[in-house]
């Protein structure tokens, strides 16, 4: 099923080279064609393998991200337009998405490459910044889209609309629009709900709201969220997607967030259990 595999790795982690060598030995044993991103090429020093800036344009069946969920998100942004499956080797901390440990590589990957795996789709968000009636900036997100304060020590004002209906005006540090995937990321630390990845939903989660009754709201996944910026001056608010700063916002900017038409295709070992992952990563009983 998988004949051409792309590898992408986390930068600056001393544990990564050994894991990459183990993975490369496995892929060579399976006689698979391997493509490396530049970070992998630097760590492996494998001049005979194809090295690419991104995997776009290459006939790759599967991308394996070696690191943590952040590395997997970086890979997801590269391949989201191309329906390539994505698998994570967890050398990070939590690993909600990257769920195979380095020690499990031979056993787990043998089963996966023999066709014994679970595949799931994770929704993407698309965001647009509209200024004076024109689209200024656009970016996708797997986890979340944030409108948040920047360079000031006070709250900002945001007007929230859902499907063109006014929800409320809030004074806060910002707001998160989260996918089910992102519900266990930043949104969780802000008191947001945990959404099962199979449901079609979004969560609106306020950041440090001034009004204590301002609670997270769960919306239908087809909802169109619009956030109107009410900061006093330019440079007091930013748009951030999946932890990457997108652009500076000025008063009256409108940030539109909705579900993208495409999705991420994640591969898990057979028997993958989302609730087992939650128990392990969140230290539930």
**Catalytic (active-site) positions:** 69
Sign of CA dihedral 60, 66, 70, 71: negative
Residue 200 CA to residue 171 CA, distance in Å, equals 28
Sign of CA dihedral 76, 35, 2, 66: negative
Q: Indicate the length of the chain as a whole number.
A: 285
Q: List C-alpha distances in Å: 48 to 8, 40, 230.
A: 17, 13, 54
CA gyration radius, the chain: 20
Beta strands in the chain (DSSP E): 4-9, 33-37, 50-52, 62-67, 85-90, 117-131, 134-141, 144-149, 156-162, 165-172, 174-178, 201-207, 217-220, 225-229, 237-241, 244-249, 254-269
Residue 230 CA to residue 222 CA, distance in Å, equals 26
Residue 135 CA to residue 283 CA, distance in Å, equals 43
Contacting residues for 72 by C-beta, under 8 A, at least 6 apart: 65, 86, 88, 97, 98
Residue 142: CB atoms within 10 A of its CB come to 25
Residue 81 CA to residue 146 CA, distance in Å, equals 22
Q: How does strand 62-67 pair with strand 144-149?
A: unpaired
């Amino acid at each position: 099923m998988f004949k051409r595999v792309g590898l992408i790795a986390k930068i600056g982690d001393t544990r990564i080279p050994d894991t990459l060598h183990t993975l490369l030995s496995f892929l060579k044993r399976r006689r698979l064609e391997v493509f490396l991103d530049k970070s992998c090429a630097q760590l492996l020093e494998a001049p005979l393998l194809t090295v690419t800036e991104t995997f776009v344009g290459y006939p790759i069946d599967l991308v394996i991200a070696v690191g943590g969920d952040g590395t997997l998100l970086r890979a997801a942004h590269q391949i989201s337009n191309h329906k390539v499956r994505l698998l994570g080797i967890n050398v990070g901390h939590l690993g909600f998405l990257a769920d195979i440990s380095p020690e499990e590589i031979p056993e787990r990957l043998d089963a996966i490459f023999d066709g014994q795996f679970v595949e799931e789709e994770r929704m993407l968000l698309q965001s647009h910044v509209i200024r004076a009636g024109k689209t200024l900036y656009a970016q996708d997100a797997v986890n979340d889209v944030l409108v948040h304060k920047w360079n000031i020590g006070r709250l900002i004002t945001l007007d929230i609309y859902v499907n063109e209906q006014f929800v409320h005006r809030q004074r806060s540090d910002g707001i998160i629009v989260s996918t089910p995937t992102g519900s266990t990321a930043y949104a969780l630390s802000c008191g947001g709900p945990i959404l099962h990845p199979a449901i079609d939903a979004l969560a609106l989660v306020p950041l440090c709201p001034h009004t204590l009754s301002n609670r997270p709201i769960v919306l239908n996944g087809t909802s169109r969220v619009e956030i109107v910026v009410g900061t006093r001056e330019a440079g007091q608010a930013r748009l951030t997607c999946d932890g990457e700063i997108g652009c500076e916002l000025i008063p009256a900017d409108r940030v539109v967030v909705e579900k993208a038409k495409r999705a991420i295709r994640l591969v898990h070992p057979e028997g993958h259990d989302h609730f087992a992952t939650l128990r392990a990563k969140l230290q539930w009983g």
